């Protein structure tokens, strides 16, 4: 069903508060989730609320965290999220990184001990709106077979990038290092829809189109995606002294436990390298150049990274967001959670 963005945000915020999250943090989490749904990334939007609500209610997310920020060098710092809401910690850490980059030109901020933080495009766009370039990477629980392997070791370990153009436009790139994010499998399950061949494998290591038979995901472009997810794990796990690889905490194992995840923000101030107006003009020129590339057969236009999501965002701003009926019914109900996720095998039905 179609839901207006402001109504959806209120529903999500209220549910998170009912689970125990303080109002300011519930507002922050709902804002990141709404961003995902507006841009058509429904795997990281409203469908995640019940999972968060259950983890909050069971104590796996610290509802009264003490965030700390420690500068470790002229352009480096560590933000400790005290296992509070990952969305809020990552957002505040990005705010600090932006401030540092304004002064030093470049900032690298490690975000330690957080819960799941949602769609990374939200955080890099924070920086783009402040005329900064940003890269963000984060860990996720192991559910991907490495190239040539038959057992899961790394997570979907996403990477996001954004750069500002003119008139408030920006290029945004946000991807899992798997062919698709695990949330896309969950979204397919919620709609009882099949998935494309090549996204995932079953328990025998054979590709499957049934989201309920998924045993593990596949890295994008084989060994190349495998290398990228390794890089992300080192930058957001090993570098920050956190559990890494198949020792990274599970999203579903014991929701009363904290997850201790890591994320890394890198922010670059273009003014330390070139004229800012020229930079933004050239980013916009890049966008226009890509739009005017002759399209291949079957395509009506070449889009620049993030453009299709921006189109969806504008459409959803105007017309409302399509939310699965069952998810809306849960959000509108008095139920905090249905005890559906604790110790759940993510690959099980």
112 and 82 Cβ atoms separated by less than 8 Å: no
116 is catalytic: yes
> What's phi and psi for 108, nearest 5 deg?
-125, 115
In degrees to the nearest 10, what's the CA dihedral of 139, 143, 145, 151? 120
Residues 6+ apart with CB under 8 A from 10: none
| Selection from 200, 141, 175, 177 nearest residue 341 by Cα | 141
Gap between the Cα atoms of 112 and 250, Å rounded: 16
149 and 160 Cβ atoms separated by less than 8 Å: no
In degrees to the nearest 10, what's the CA dihedral of 61, 66, 72, 73? 100
Q: Which of 25, 44, 116, 170 is catalytic?
A: 116
Gap between the Cα atoms of 51 and 54, Å rounded: 5
> What's phi and psi for 99, nearest 5 deg?
-60, -45
CA atoms 84, 88, 91, 96: torsion sign: negative
The catalytic residues are 116
């Amino acid at each position: 069903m179609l839901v207006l963005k402001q109504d959806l945000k209120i529903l999500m915020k209220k549910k998170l508060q009912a689970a125990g999250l303080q109002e300011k943090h519930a507002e922050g989490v709902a804002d990141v989730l709404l961003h995902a749904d507006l841009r058509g990334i429904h795997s990281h939007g409203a469908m995640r609320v019940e999972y968060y609500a259950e983890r909050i209610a069971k104590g796996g997310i610290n509802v009264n965290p003490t965030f700390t920020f420690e500068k470790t060098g002229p352009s480096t710092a560590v933000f400790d999220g005290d296992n509070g809401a990952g969305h809020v910690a990552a957002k505040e850490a990005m705010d600090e990184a932006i401030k540092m980059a304004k002064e030093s030109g470049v900032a690298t901020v490690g975000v330690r001990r957080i819960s799941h933080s949602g769609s990374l495009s939200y955080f890099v766009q924070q920086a783009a709106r402040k005329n900064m370039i940003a890269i963000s990477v984060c860990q996720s629980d192991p559910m991907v077979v490495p190239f040539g392997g038959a057992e899961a070791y790394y997570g979907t370990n996403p990477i996001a990038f954004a750069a500002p153009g003119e008139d408030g436009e920006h290029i945004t790139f946000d991807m899992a290092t798997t062919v698709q994010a695990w949330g896309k499998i969950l979204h397919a399950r919620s709609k009882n829809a099949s998935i494309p061949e090549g996204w995932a494998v079953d328990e025998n290591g054979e590709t499957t189109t049934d989201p309920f038979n998924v045993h593990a995901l596949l890295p994008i472009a084989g060994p190349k995606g495998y290398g990228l997810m390794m890089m992300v794990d080192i930058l957001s796990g090993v570098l920050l002294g956190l559990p890494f690889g198949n020792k990274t905490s599970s999203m579903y194992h014991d929701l009363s436990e904290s997850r201790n995840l890591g994320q890394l923000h890198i922010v670059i101030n273009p003014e330390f390298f070139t004229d800012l107006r020229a930079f933004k003009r050239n980013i916009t020129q890049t966008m226009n150049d890509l739009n005017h590339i002759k399209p291949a057969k079957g395509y009506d236009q070449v889009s620049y990274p993030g453009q299709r999501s921006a189109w969806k965002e504008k459409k959803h701003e105007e017309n409302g967001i399509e939310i699965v009926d069952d998810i809306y019914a849960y959000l509108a109900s008095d139920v905090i959670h249905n005890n559906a996720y604790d110790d759940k095998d993510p690959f099980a039905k």
